[in-house]
């Protein structure tokens, strides 16, 4: 159910990617895809895989494996990735400053939504790792979108979940595909380099600002594009 807008005002808020943005998992995904590909006879360099992490599984597999492959194996490869990733659940950790960042946005009257294309069961685990449900108004998973990033479906689903227009949102992500998805809806985006993508690539993909991670963004929140949203919120 969409959250109600504040009395007498429109709802503004922040959409957050999760993998590589709030949780240190980009390289775990890279390793899991690498293992899944090798199980089916594909030797794909990890650097190539990491570049595409942040896309949905179907898009990632299509970009990394040969066109002439036996596509009947694609579902099995994705299932293998999921199993390998799940084996790393106990290792998942939030980046420094994440809970405080979400809390500051929430305390400032902004809606907070997790715009993730992770599998539902992975998202449940990651929410437990974040331990910040008190500050989160809604969350999406792969079940909520027909197309994965860089298509904007997941972001639109998150907007709908909190009853918010694209013009009243900011999106925070770590991948080129996050920036492209936000640009498709006209949402200003903030790039974080903690997922392993450099600032130049994120800016080239459309990031309005780039920070090293959640703590860096939190320390500069007032001067960021999120700070501009906070400044528009009515005084309590």
In a domain, 135, yes or no: yes
Q: Do residues 54 and 207 touch, judged by C-beta distance below 8 A?
A: no
- Residue 178 · residue 15 · CB < 8 Å: no
Where does residue 202 rank: exposed (0-12), middle (13-18), buried (19+ CB within 10 A)?
buried
Structural domain range at position 182: 13-24+92-232
137 closest CA partner among 110, 109, 113, 106: 113
Q: Are residues 73 and 165 in the same domain?
A: no
* Tally of CB atoms within 10 A around 2: 14
1 inside domain: no
State pLDDT tens for residues 101-151. Answer: 999 999 999 999 999 988 999 999 999 999 999 999 999 998 899 898 999
Looking at the fold, whether 20 and 85 belong to one and the same domain comes out as no
> Do residues 40 and 98 share a domain?
no
6 lies in some domain: no
Residues 140 and 153 in one domain: yes
Q: Are residues 83 and 104 in the same domain?
A: no
Q: What is the pTM of this model?
A: 0.94
Residues 129 and 85 in one domain: no
Note down pLDDT in tens along the chain; length 236 residues: 344 455 546 899 999 999 999 999 999 999 999 999 999 999 999 999 999 999 989 999 999 999 999 999 999 999 999 999 999 999 999 999 999 999 999 999 999 999 998 899 999 999 999 999 999 999 999 889 989 899 999 999 999 999 999 999 999 999 999 999 999 999 999 999 999 999 999 999 999 999 999 999 999 999 999 999 999 988 65
């Amino acid at each position: 159910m969409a959250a109600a807008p504040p009395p007498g005002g429109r709802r503004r808020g922040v959409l957050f990617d999760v993998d590589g943005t709030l949780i240190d998992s980009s390289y775990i995904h890279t390793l899991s895809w690498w293992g899944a590909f090798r199980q089916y006879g594909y030797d794909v360099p990890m650097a190539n895989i990491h570049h595409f992490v942040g896309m949905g599984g179907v898009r990632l597999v299509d970009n990394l494996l040969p066109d002439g492959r036996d596509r009947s194996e694609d579902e099995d490869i994705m299932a293998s990735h999921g199993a390998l990733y799940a084996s790393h659940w106990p290792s998942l950790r939030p980046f420094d400053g994440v809970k405080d960042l979400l809390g500051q946005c929430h305390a400032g009257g902004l809606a907070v939504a997790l715009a993730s294309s992770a599998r539902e069961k992975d998202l449940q685990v990651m929410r437990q790792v974040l331990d910040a449900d008190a500050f989160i108004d809604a969350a999406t998973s792969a079940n909520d979108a027909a197309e994965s990033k860089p298509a904007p479906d997941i972001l639109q689903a998150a907007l709908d979940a909190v009853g918010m227009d694209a013009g009243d949102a900011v999106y925070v992500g770590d991948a080129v595909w996050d920036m492209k998805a936000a640009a498709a809806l006209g949402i200003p985006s903030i790039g974080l380099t903690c997922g392993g993508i450099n600032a130049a690539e994120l800016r080239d993909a459309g990031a309005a600002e780039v920070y090293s991670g959640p703590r860096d963004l939190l320390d500069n929140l007032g001067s960021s594009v999120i700070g501009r949203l906070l400044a528009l919120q009515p005084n309590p």
